[in-house]
Every structure is written in C-alpha cells, then in structure tokens.
Amino acid sequence: MNSPLGFRLQHLTSTNEEPSSSECFTIRKHYIENGEERLAALNDQIAQAQAAVAQAQAIVDSLTKRAEEEEKVLNQYRCTLAPIRRVPCDILIEIFLFSRDWEHKEDKKNYPKGYGTAGPAPGWNPLLTTHICSARRRIAFSSPILWTTVRAECIFDEQCLGDFSIRIFQGTTDPRSLGRHWNGCVRTCIG
C-alpha cells in the first residue's frame, strides 16, 4: 500500500471518484478476491472457536451440575452431625415446655426490634413441636406433661361444655393432672 498505486486505491476508498478500468481490475484481483479468501478463513476460525467454546461450556455445565450434586450430598452429611440431633430427650422435653405459652398471651409480638421466633410462633398448642420431624414427634407424644392442659376456643352452651369436659376427663388416666381452659362465648351471648 506504500506504492503510488496503493495510495491511489486508498484515496479511491475515501472519495466518490470513479476508478479507471485498470484500477478496477487491481481492486478485484488483489483486494476483493484475496480479501474474500482471508474473510472465509477468518469465518472458519470463528466457527472452530465457537465450537470449542460450546464444547467448553458443555464441560463447565456438566462440572457445575456434578459440583451441585456433591454439595447437596455433603450438606446432608453435615446435617447428620448437627449438635441438635444429639440432644437428650429430657432436654428436648424441657425445650418443648418452654416453647409453649402457658399464660396464653394474645400479644406474641413483644420481641426486641430485629428479633422474633425461629420456626412456629410460641403458642398454647403443643402440636407445633410435633411438626419438626418424626423423632421429635415421638418424643412430644410420649411426654404426658405436654398434654396436661386442654384449651378449647369455641362456642359452647353450658350443657355441651359439661359433656365435652366429662369426655375429656374420662379419656385421661389421671384427671387431677389435667388443666382446663375454656375461651369463648356460651350460646346465650350470640342468640
């Protein structure tokens, strides 16, 4: 391109001048045909590189999937070593007892700012502790102390309340150990 012809051809690309027939032949022969060959070679290299990238991406995807599966298995084994799995039953029962709201406070949002409950909110319902896992459920159901208070919140008339109370006390082995709390209106309140 440093020859006078090279300068002239470069000048033609930057202006609207008409090239001569010899310049047209030179442009076709040396620049367009050679340029098309170079462009085809570059496109082939691009296609090969894209195929290599696709193959590398497939390998990366496969390795990522295997790593995720391995991490899942590893986490399962880590969970089996969690200290909570080795807590003795008597301590778990105490934890279950402390998780109950024995006073049945309606306002359960007296936590400091930024704090709250982990898991089910504390409440009078001892069944919440049975939703953790089957082992905790067995412990909770085998602990009579968790089931000594029955609280009913529904609409009863006095006769129905008495019948319900008799059925509850007949179903327990030691009626003296069973506390009762009835919240609700009798039928006369709504009738």
Residue 142 forms part of a structural domain? no
Segment 162-187 mean pLDDT? 50
> Are 21 and 67 in the same domain?
yes
Contact in structure between 188 and 160 (CB atoms under 8 Å): no
Same domain, 8 and 76: yes
Q: Domain check: are 69 and 100 in the same one?
A: no
Note whether 131 and 101 are same-domain residues.
Answer: yes
Is the residue at 115 inside a domain? yes
Q: Alpha-carbon distance 126 to 128, whole Å?
A: 5
- Which residue range is the domain that position 23 belongs to? 4-80
Question: Do residues 148 and 178 make contact, with C-beta atoms less than 8 angstroms apart?
Answer: yes
Residues 66 and 9 grouped into a single domain: yes
Q: Which DSSP category does 2 fall into?
A: -
Give the pLDDT of residue 44: 96
Band (102; pLDDT cuts 50, 70, 90): low
Residue 11 has pLDDT above 70, yes or no: yes
Q: Average the pLDDT over each of 61-65, 108-112, 163-167, 186-190 and give the range with the smallest value.
A: 186-190
Total domains, the chain: 3
Is residue 48, in this structure, part of any structural domain at all?
yes
Whether 13 and 64 share a structural domain: yes
Same domain, 76 and 12: yes
Residues 76 and 8 in one domain: yes
Is 75 found in the same domain as 100? no
- What is the pLDDT at residue 190? 34
Statement: residue 112 has pLDDT above 80: no
* Per-residue pLDDT at 191: 29
Report yes or no on 75 lying in a domain.
yes
CA distance 80 to 184: 45
pLDDT in tens, 70-98: 999 999 899 888 888 888 988 988 888 77
pTM for the model: 0.41
Residues 15 and 49 placed together within one structural domain of the fold: yes
> Which amino acid, 69?
E
pLDDT digits (tens, 9 = 90+) for 124-167: 566 777 777 888 888 888 888 777 665 555 555 555 555 555 55
pLDDT tens-place string over residues 12-70: 888 888 888 888 888 888 788 888 888 999 999 999 999 999 999 999 999 999 999 99
* 114 within some domain: yes
Please tell me whether residues 8 and 75 are part of one structural domain.
yes
Q: Does residue 12 sit within a domain?
A: yes
Mean pLDDT to the nearest integer, 98-119: 55
Residues 49 and 70 reside in one and the same domain? yes
**How many C-beta neighbours within 10 Å does residue 19 have?**
15
